[in-house]
Amino acid sequence: MIRHGYEGVVLAAPVTIPYQRHSIHGAAWWIGRALAEALRAAGLRPADIDGFCCSSFSLGADTAVGLTQHFGLSPRWLDHIPMGGACGVVALRRAARAVQAGDADIVACVAGDTSTPDSFRQQLQSFSRFATDATWPYGGGGPNASFALLTDAYMRAYGATREDFGRICVAQRQNALAFPHALMKRPLDLAHYLAARPVADPIALFDCVMPCAGAEAFLVMREETARALSLPAAHLRGAIERHHAFPDDPIQLRGGWAMDRDELYAMAATTPAGIDLLQTYDDYPVIVMMQFEDLGFCAKGEAPAFVRAHDLTAAGSFPHNSSGGQLSVGQAGAAGGYLGLVEAIRQLTGQAIGAVVPGARTALVSGFGMINYDRGLCSAAAILAAP
Amino acid sequence: MTAKLPPPAPANPLAVPRAPLLPPTTRSRAALGLASAAAERRFALQVCAACAAVQYPPREVCLACLGHHLPWRDVPREGRVLATTTIRISADPYFRTRTPWRIGTVRLACGPVVVAHLHGDVAPGASVRMTLRLDKSGQGVMLAMPAEDSANMQDDPQLREMTCDPRGRRVLVTDGRSAAGQAIAAALQAAGAREVFLGVAEPWRPLPGRDRLAGSAVDLDCTDEDSVRRCAASLGGRVEILVNTALHVRPGGISAGTSMATARAEMECAYFGPLRLARHFGPALRARAADGTHPACAWVGLASVYGLAANPAFGGFSAAQAAALSLLQSLRAELRPIRVLRVLTGPVDDEWHQANPPPKVSPAALAAAVVGALRDGLEQVAVGDVAQDFLARFRDNPDTLARELAG
C-alpha cells in the first residue's frame, strides 16, 4: 500500500523557552511554560487545543496523562513519546495523522526537561535496562563513552579525523553566536576545538552537549485552521521513522534513515539537492556525519570529505543546524529532539530569532535517539516547506 | 605491555585514604547470572533453549525467536575488538577516582556484541579472550583479556580491581594448628604475600609443624572473644586478606553419637569464631578496601559441602557448616568491596575422616585452590572431586541430594 501523504498538515507557533544550566523548577514547569508560550503565540486558550503530546525524561512517575490534570487540559487526543532525540519528528508524525483524520483539530507538541546538579548522573544509571546491566557499570561514561566507541569505529572505517568533526562544531558555534538562547556563546575555532580537554577518546569537550533545563513546543493543525488563526505555518511534506534498524551491524556506522530515505524524498517530491536547510540531531558530531550520508547528501563514508568541502554556517553553502544545535545551545533532555524542528519552523516562516538562512524554502529535520545499549535505536526525519 | 607492579610503598600517614566506593551495583535479575558464572571462573551467557541464539545483554525473551527459556550455558570466549575508548571523565564516583579507564566494543565469535572492560594489553582490532569477572560491587562484568598471555599481565590496574592477587599483600591465616592452615600459609607465602600471619591458639600446647611454619605465628583463638579483639587491635590495620581455615570436624549424628560439648565446639568453630572475626576485623578490612597500591581485598572462608545439604553421618558438623555458609552469605553483602570467597571442601585427608573412602582433599590441594581463586578474584571454589560432585548434585536438585545423603 502506498502511504498517504501529509497534505493539509501544518506546523505553527514555534517556541523555545530559554535554556538554563540548572533549574530549581520541575519538568512540568518547563513544559507548562512552553505550552503557555505556544498558546500565547497562536492567540489560543488552553481549552482551544484538543490534542496534547509530550516528551520528557525528568517527569518522574508522570506522563502526558498526569500533565492534563496538572495543566487543566481535557484533550480528546493524547500521546507521550519517550524517544529522546527522535521525539520531535515522531510527535509530529503522530499529531499530523490525528489532525488529518479529524481525531484532533489542534495538537500541542511539547518537550521539556529540568536539570539539577546530579540529575544527569541519576538519569544515566537508570536510562534503560540494558544500560543499567551492560554499559553504565563499564566506566560510568554515559553517552560520552558510548559515542566515543561509535566515533572510534567510524574513524577507523572511513578515515575521519578530529578536524573533520571539529568543522561541524565550529560552524555550529558560529551560528549560535547570533542565537539569543544559546548557552555556549564563546567563539570557537578549530585550534580550541582540538586543544579541548579529552573526555572519552576520541571525544573531547566540544564534541559533547551540555545537559541543561529548557523546553520547546509547536502546534500541529490543518492548513485552514492556521489560516483562520492568521498563523504563519510550515507544511509537512514527508516523514519517516525507524527503530532498531540494521540489528546485524556489529557496530553502528549507519542509522535507520538509510532504510527509509527514498520514501521520505518521494513523499516530499524532492531530492537532497532540493533541501535548503538541514537540521540534524547533533549529539555527537559523528551522528551528524551519519545523517549527512544516510539522508543522501553524500555517499557512505564521504561525510568527512563533505564537511571539508562545505561551509556549514547559516549563510554558507550547506546551511546546517542554524541555531547552533545542541552542541552550542545545550541539550535540554527531550527538548533536544525538538530543537532542530522548532528552529526549522522559525526559518521557514520568517520568524528566525538568530542567524537567518537566506532563501530557505525547504528544510529537512532529522532525529536520532535512545542509546539503549550500544547504539541509537530511534531514527526519524521530516521534510518541511515554507508556506 | 603491562608494567610490573612495584612492591607496596610505605603508607603516607598524611594522605587521606581512598574511600571504599563501589562501582554501579544495580542489575536486573537476569543479569545476576553473569555474577554466578564469574564467581566460579566460568564464561556463560544465556542460550535460547528453542533456537540456540546466544544472548547479551541478559534478556527475558530471545532476541531471535521470542523464546522465553534462556538457560545459562558456557559459551566460547573468542572475540574481536571493534572499537575502544579511554574514559577520562566519569560521572560515577568509583570510576572517577580510577580514570583513565579503558573499555571497548567486542564482537564475540558466538554472536553477541559486548561492551567490555579492556585489559591494558588489548590493542584496537585485536583478538581477545573474553572473561567474566566480579567487580568491586560483586557484580559480574565482562573483561577482555589478550588472546595470548603477556608478561606481568596480572598487574594490569583494571584487572587488579577485579582480582585479589596475594602478591605484595599481608595475610592472616586463622588456624595455624591445622594442616590446611599451614599448607595455605605456605602457598600464600610462595605466591609472594608480603607477610603471612598464622593464628595459633593456646601457643603453650605442642604444635606439630611449628619448626617449619610459613610466616609468623600470632596468638589467636577464635573461640575467645578477648583473643580475637587483641589480635585485631594489633593486626587489623595490617591485613589485606583474611583466611579463616578453622574446621572442627567430628563424626556423629543429631540424636546420638555426639555430645552437647562437641556440638557446641563445632558451632563455636563454624559460626561464633567467624562471627567474632567479622566483628573485629571486618570494619577495618572494609575501610582499607581502596587504600594504596595493595588495598585490603578478600575474606576467605573454608567450609564443608555438608553445609549445603546435611550428611547424617556428620549431622552436628553439617548443621554447624550450614551456619558457616549462612554467615558467609551475609558477610559477602556487608563487606563489599571486600571479596568473600567461600572454599567448599569435601572430606579432608585427616584423622577425622578415617572412615571416608578416597578421594579426600589434601591440604596442598586446598592451598592451591585458595591461591588460584584469589588470583582470579573468585567468590566460590569447590576443591576436589567429592566437593565438585556434591555441588553438581546440589545444583541439579537439592531435594534429591538430601535423599541420596539420607541413604
Mean pLDDT (chain A) is 97
Spell out which residues of chain A touch residue B162, defining contact as CB-CB under 8 Å. Answer: none
Contact status, residue B377 vs residue B37, Cβ threshold 8 Å = no
Q: Are B56 and B91 a contacting pair, CB within 8 Å? A: no
In this predicted structure, the answer to whether residue B151 has a pLDDT above a threshold of 80 is: yes
Helix locations, B288-314, DSSP H? none
> CA-CA distance, A10 to A222, in Å (whole number)?
6
- B214-231 as b/e: b if 16+ CB within 10 A: bbeebebbbbbeebbebb
Residues of chain A in contact with residue B135, where contact means CB-CB under 8 angstroms, are: 137
pLDDT in tens, A237-275: 999 999 999 999 999 999 999 999 999 999 999 999 999
Pairing of strands A376-385, A233-243: antiparallel
Residue B99: its chain A contacts at CB < 8 A?
Answer: 139
CB contact under 8 A, B105 and A251: yes
| Residue that has been written with the C-alpha cell 524554502 in this structure | A361
Q: Would you state the cell numbers that stand for residue A135, as one nine-digit string?
A: 554499559
Contact by Cβ (8 Å): A324, A172: yes
The span from the CA of A310 to the CA of A150, in Å, is: 24
Question: Using one digit for the tens of pLDDT, what is the confidence trace for B191-205?
Answer: 999 999 999 999 899
The CB-side HSE value for A239 (13 A sphere, CA atoms) comes to 28
In this complex, the residue of B58, B85, B137 whose CB is nearest that of residue A133 is B58
Question: In 3D, which of B101, B116, B104 has the Cα closest to residue B45?
Answer: B116
Instruction: Look at chain A and count its residues.
Output: 387
Q: Which residues of A touch B87 (CB under 8 A)?
A: 139-141, 144-145, 148, 199-200
Contact (CB<8Å) B90/A139: yes
- Who among B23, B96, B99 is closest to A137 (CB)? B23
- Provide the pLDDT for residue B257: 83
d(CA A204, CA B32): 34
CATH number given to A9-118+213-233: 3.40.47.10
Q: Do B139 and A140 touch (CB under 8 A)?
A: no
Interface test with B, best of A138, A158, A253, A284 (most B CBs within 10 A): A138
Mean pLDDT to the nearest integer, A310-336 = 97
Look at residue A359 and tell me whether its pLDDT is greater than 90.
yes
Q: Please list every residue in chain B whose beta carbon sits closer than 8 Å to the beta carbon of residue A198.
A: 86, 88
Contacts of B112 in chain A (CB under 8 A): none
Pairwise CA distance, residues B390 & B394, whole Å = 6
Give the H/E segment covering residue A377. Answer: strand A376-385
What average pLDDT does this structure show over A135-140? Answer: 97
Instruction: Give dist(CA B302, CA B63) in Å, integer.
Output: 41
**Complex ipTM:** 0.95
Min Cα distance B133 → chain A (Å) is 12
Q: What is the rounded distance in angstroms from the CA atom of residue B58 to the CA atom of residue A233?
A: 47
Does B223 contact chain A (CB < 8 Å)?
no
In this complex, do B92 and A139 lie within 8 Å of one another by their Cβ atoms?
Answer: yes
Q: How confident is the model at residue A339 (pLDDT cuts 50, 70, 90)?
A: very high
Distances A104 to A13, A49, A216, B129 between C-alpha atoms, Å: 17, 8, 21, 57
Does position B251 have pLDDT exceeding 90, yes or no? Answer: no
Determine the topology of domain A134-209+234-385 in CATH. Answer: Peroxisomal Thiolase; Chain A, domain 1 (3.40.47)
Domains of chain B: which residue ranges? 32-160, 170-406
The chain B residue lying nearest A125, using CA atoms, is B24
Give yes or no for B83 touching A (CB within 8 A).
Answer: yes
Contact between chains at A148 and B56 (C-beta distance less than 8 A): no
Residues 6+ apart with CB under 8 A from B184: B173, B243, B245, B363, B366, B367, B370
Q: From residue A63, how far is each of A58, A112, A115, B315 by CA, in Å?
A: 10, 12, 18, 58
C-alpha cell of B22? 563501589
Give the CATH superfamily of B170-406: NAD(P)-binding Rossmann-like Domain (3.40.50.720)
CB A116 within 8 A of CB A23: yes
Confidence band for A19, pLDDT divided at 50, 70 and 90: very high
Rounded Cα gap, residues B280 and B102, in angstroms: 37
C-alpha cell at B272: 561464633
Q: Does residue B352 carry a pLDDT above 80? A: no
**Rounded (5°) CA angle A149-A150-A156:** 90
- C-beta of residue B152 within 8 angstroms of C-beta of residue B128: no
Q: How far apart are CA B101 and CA B118, in angstroms?
A: 9
Q: pLDDT, tens digit, for every residue of B74-131? A: 999 999 999 999 999 999 999 999 999 999 999 999 999 999 999 999 999 999 999 9
Grid cell in block for residue B267: 558451632
Residue A199 is given by DSSP the state E
Query: Taking CA B58 as the corner, what is the angle to CA B53 and CA B61, rounded to the nearest 5 degrees?
Result: 60
- Specify the pLDDT at position B12: 83
Contact B242, B298 (CB under 8 A): yes
Q: How many CB pairs under 8 A join A and B?
A: 125
pLDDT, residue B140, reads 98
pLDDT at B125: 97
Q: Output the CA torsion A55→A56→A57→A62 (10° steps).
A: -100
CA atoms within 13 A on the CB side of B3: 4
DSSP string across B198-241:
EEESSTTS--TTGGG-SSEEEE--TT-HHHHHHHHHHHGGG-SE
Q: Does B95 contact A148 at a Cβ distance shorter than 8 Å?
A: no
Detail the DSSP E strand segments found in A223-375. 233-243, 277-279, 362-371
- What is the percent of chain B where pLDDT is above 90? 87
Is B109 part of the contact surface with chain A (CB cutoff 8 Å)? Answer: no
Which triple of cell numbers denotes residue A122?
Answer: 541519576
Give yes or no for residue B60 having a pLDDT over 80: yes
**What is the residue-averaged pLDDT of chain B?**
95
Alpha helices in A229-284 (DSSP H): 257-268
Judge: A373–B57 Cβ closer than 8 Å, yes or no: yes
Whether residue A153 and residue B105 make contact (CB cut-off 8 A), yes or no, is yes
